[in-house]
Amino acid sequence: MQIFATEQIRAWDEYTIRHEPIASVDLMERAATACYDWLLQNNYKGKAFTIFCGKGNNGGDGLVIARLLAQTNHAVTVNILEFGHKGTVDFQINLARLHNTTATIRFVSSEETVHPIPTGDVVIDALLGSGINRPADGLTAHLIQHINNSNNEVIAIDIPSGLFVDHSSRGNIVIKARYTLSFQCFKPAFLMPENAAGIGDVHLLNIGLLPGFLAIQDSPFQLVDQQMAQQLLQPRKPFSHKGDYGHAAIIAGSYGMMGAAVLCARACLRSGVGKLTCHVPAVGYNIMQTSVPEGMCKTGSPGENDNTGHATQEMDKYDTIGIGPGLGPNPANVSLLYSVFEQNRRPMVIDADGLNAIAREKALLNKIPLGSILTPHPKEFERLFGKTANDYDRIQLALQTATDNNLYIVLKGRYSFIASPDGKGYFNSTGNPGMASGGTGDVLTGMITGLLAQQYSPLHAAILGVFLHGRAGDLAAAYASQPSLIASDLVDFLGQAYQSL
């Protein structure tokens, strides 16, 4: 699914108006009716509503919702924020239509004319939508704060008022919504952690914008959804053997952190790899052989209770390598990476302490095999590439770094972001907060490594890996719960995640 910026959303509206064809006021009716239907289907039937409208088309949506609610015997009060002009044409048409209903209409022209919001009323926020072009200030900001301070439940239409669609809103005064009812496609603002406090749960409503637009409009950002993941999945061949699915190596683990190696290796196996060799220090030999019997195991100094030595011979024989989970903050990681990068020039996966070693020894960045996948969480990303002012800048920096170094960067988070060297970015749609616990990243590294070994391209391995990882988390959380979810569950549910595609 494409993710569009403000101008593209506007262009899609216009395309639909022209080609369907449909009058813009009727498209507004359709959008607002979708919101009204959502309210009735989600236990808001019979409630009282206080609706705040600006004088743009977002406000117009609010007026239509008000009319539909009033016509079905809901108590509705509409507060219209005076912008000092008459409002858009569709706003005016719908204001005239609203006058014929039982809705109470008030105009808010100063702080003195702001009424308290009755306790228990559901607030609909239709002050500002995608037409916002500056931070809310003055009376607009006052109204937003008034709504936020009321403790009433707020449902934002299209986007919480005050939030910019496609650039940072840091410092803005923004509506804090319980739900955001938005139209047709995700907006970049919904995917940024910095906006988490305002957007609540986002529900996308289909308002019938014409799909033909998607063929003529490219977007640098896409949402990885079921359809995209399905298209990437390669079926297994009927007459195949383990040699057809690649030989992966996992270089991981240290004293006290062998669990990371186990999780990573088990995830790699479950992803469908043909053969796996685990490179761990001697201290972890028994652990690996017992916990991951399907994998082979190599240690740096066999027989010794050695914490540091990872075998580095014959690295070139692997189709790919996943390196980093649980290596620990060991200075020897730097020379380990030099050795691995020198011997094997195929795309590989680098995570955790592998990334931290590169952050320490920046010269390693130029040695990484082209097309490799880096999987940092935000802190690791910062150590590697520096601080950014906001989430949008971080995404731009990830894209720039991916392009400059011919690498893929998987920036882990609620909507993990994959930066591709061609300048395109992919936000993953699966996953849940239950996955915010130790070891889930090690599982992801194992999965992507396994997919790379099976000859998925780096981009496809990264996309499918993050999608399946999140899906496994969603299935595990549905089976038990989010708080109880642990990284091993992701490995256990990976089979069902594949099945769900």
Ligand X SMILES: NC(=O)C1=CN([C@@H]2O[C@H](COP(=O)(O)OP(=O)(O)OC[C@H]3O[C@@H](n4cnc5c(N)ncnc54)[C@H](OP(=O)(O)O)[C@@H]3O)[C@@H](O)[C@H]2O)[C@H](O)CC1
Q: Which of 76, 77, 141, 67 is nearest to 106 (CA)?
A: 77
369 belongs to the binding site for ligand X (CB under 6 A): no
Instruction: Find the helix packing angle between 57-71 and 89-98, rounded to 10°.
Output: 20
Q: Check the annotation: does 212 bind a ligand.
A: no
125 belongs to the binding site for ligand X (CB under 6 A): no
Q: Which residue's CB is nearer to ligand X, number 135 or number 371?
A: 135
Judged by CB under 6 A, the chain residues 147 through 206 that form the site for ligand X are 157-158, 183-184
Specify the DSSP element, H or E, that contains 214: helix 212-216
- Residue 54 binds which of ligand X, K ion, none (CB < 5-8 A, kind-dependent): ligand X
Q: Minimal distance in Å, beta carbon 129 to K ion?
A: 5
Q: 192-229 burial string, b = 16+ CB within 10 Å, else e?
A: beebeebbbebebbebebeeebbeeeebebbbbeeebb
Q: Check the annotation: does 500 bind a ligand.
A: no
Judged by CB under 6 A, the chain residues 405 through 424 that form the site for ligand X are none
- Residue 61 binds which of ligand X, K ion, none (CB < 5-8 A, kind-dependent): ligand X
143 belongs to the binding site for ligand X (CB under 6 A): no
Q: How far apart are CA 318 and CA 450, in angstroms?
A: 11
Q: Check the annotation: does 130 bind a ligand.
A: yes
Q: Tokens for 311, please give them.
A: 């075998």
Q: Which residue's CB is nearer to ligand X, number 88 or number 428?
A: 88
Q: Which residues make beta-bridge pairs with 126?
A: 53
Give CA separation, 488 vs 30, 91, 260, 262, 435, in Å: 45, 53, 10, 10, 11
Q: Minimal distance in Å, beta carbon 167 to ligand X?
A: 13
Q: In what order do the strands lie in the sheet with 2-3?
A: 2-3, 221-224, 425-428, 417-419, 408-411, 373-374, 349-350, 320-323, 247-251, 275-279, 296-298
Q: Minimal distance in Å, beta carbon 116 to ligand X?
A: 23
Count residues binding ligand X (CB under 6 A). 30
Q: How many Å separate Cα 392 from the centre of its chain?
A: 13
Q: How far apart are CA 205 and CA 38, in angstroms?
A: 8
Q: Minimal distance in Å, beta carbon 395 to ligand X?
A: 23
Q: Check the annotation: does 135 bind a ligand.
A: yes
13 belongs to the binding site for ligand X (CB under 6 A): yes
Q: Which residue's CB is nearer to ligand X, number 200 or number 309?
A: 200
For residue 278, the one-letter residue type is C
Q: Which residue's CB is nearer to ligand X, number 210 or number 365?
A: 210
Give CA separation, 436 vs 227, 377, 425, 470, in Å: 25, 11, 23, 11
Q: Which of 106, 124, 107 is nearest to 48 (CA)?
A: 124
Q: What is the 3-state composition of the chain as percent helix, strand, coil, each rounded to the nearest 5?
A: 45, 15, 40
378 belongs to the binding site for ligand X (CB under 6 A): no
Of 25-33, 143-151, 218-226, 447-455, the window that binds ligand X (rule: CB under 6 A) is 25-33
Q: Check the annotation: does 473 bind a ligand.
A: no
Q: Minimal distance in Å, beta carbon 110 to ligand X?
A: 15
Q: Check the annotation: does 61 bind a ligand.
A: yes
Among 8, 57, 169, 333, binds ligand X (CB under 6 A): 57
Of 125-133, 187-195, 259-267, 441-449, the window that binds ligand X (rule: CB under 6 A) is 125-133
Q: Minimal distance in Å, beta carbon 64 to K ion?
A: 14
* Residue 387 burial (C-beta neighbours within 10 Å; 0-12, 13-18, 19+): exposed
Q: Which residue's CB is nearer to K ion, number 125 or number 353?
A: 125
Of 129-137, 250-258, 384-392, 423-431, the window that binds ligand X (rule: CB under 6 A) is 129-137
Q: Which residues make beta-bridge pairs with 419?
A: 409, 425
CB 106 within 8 A of CB 115: yes
Q: Tokens for 245, please give them.
A: 């699915």
Q: Tokens for 57, please give them.
A: 């088309």
Q: Check the annotation: does 414 bind a ligand.
A: yes
Q: Minimal distance in Å, beta carbon 145 to ligand X?
A: 14
Binding site for K ion (CB under 5 A): 125, 156-157, 161
* Binding pattern for the stretch 201-240 against ligand X, x by CB under 6 A and - elsewhere: ------x-x-------------------------------
HEC string for 328-366: CCCCHHHHHHHHHHHHCCCCCEECHHHHHHHHHCHHHHH
Task: Provide the annotated binding site.
Answer: 57-61, 125, 129-135, 158, 161, 260, 326, 377, 412-416, 441-442
Task: Provide the annotated binding site for K(+).
Answer: 58, 125, 161
Where on the chain is the footprint of ligand X (CB under 6 A)?
Answer: 9, 13, 27-28, 31, 54, 56-61, 83, 88, 128-136, 140, 157-158, 183-184, 207, 209
